[in-house]
Amino acid sequence: MMYNKVTLIGRAGTDAEVRYTQNQSKIVKFSMATNRYWNDRSGVRQEKTEWHNIVCWGYLADRAEKMVTKGSLIMVEGAIEYSNWQDNEGIKHYRTDIRAQTLLMLSAKRSGGAPGPQPGPVDSASAPEPTSRPEPTSTDFVDDIEVPKSDLDDDIPF
C-alpha cells in the first residue's frame, strides 16, 4: 500500500487567489506558513518558517475563496503534488503543491476586528453541493487553538 498525506496547521500568507481551467473548473490557491522550533547546541531557541503552496478544487475551492484571508489560522489535509515545466528560455522550473482534501478554519486573520463566521471542517470527498449545505454557525469552528510548542531539541540523546 502507498500513502501520500500531509497535515498542516499554519497561517495563510496570502488571500485566496481564484483561477479557472479551460473547462471552467475553479481552482483556488494560497500560500500557508508553518513554523518549527528547536533548541540549537548552545540551548538557544531557533525558529524556521516553511512556506507551502495550497491548491483547492471543487467544493473546497468555493469555501476557500470565501473564507481564506491573509493571516487566517487554517488546518489543511491533503496530498503532496510535484510539477515541473520548461519556460520560453529553456529553463526548467519545479513546484511543490499541497492539493487540499480537507480545509478547517481555526480562526480569522489576526487583526483588530472580531472574527466573523467561519465554516467547520470541509472534506472534498464528502462535501455536498453548495446549494444544499446550511450556513455555518458559530459552533462549527474552533475560535482559537493553542498550537503546542515542542520541548524537544535536535540533539540525539546518545
Residue spans of the domains in the chain: they are 6-140
* Ordered DSSP codes for 73-120: EEEEEEEEEEEEEE-TTS-EEEEEEEEEEEEEEEEPPSSSSPP-----
- The C-alpha atoms of residue 23 and residue 95 are separated, in whole angstroms, by 23
- The C-alpha atoms of residue 52 and residue 49 are separated, in whole angstroms, by 10
pTM of the model: 0.68
CATH class, range 6-140: mainly beta
Span 57-106, pLDDT tens digits:
999 999 999 999 999 999 999 999 999 999 999 999 999 999 999 999 99
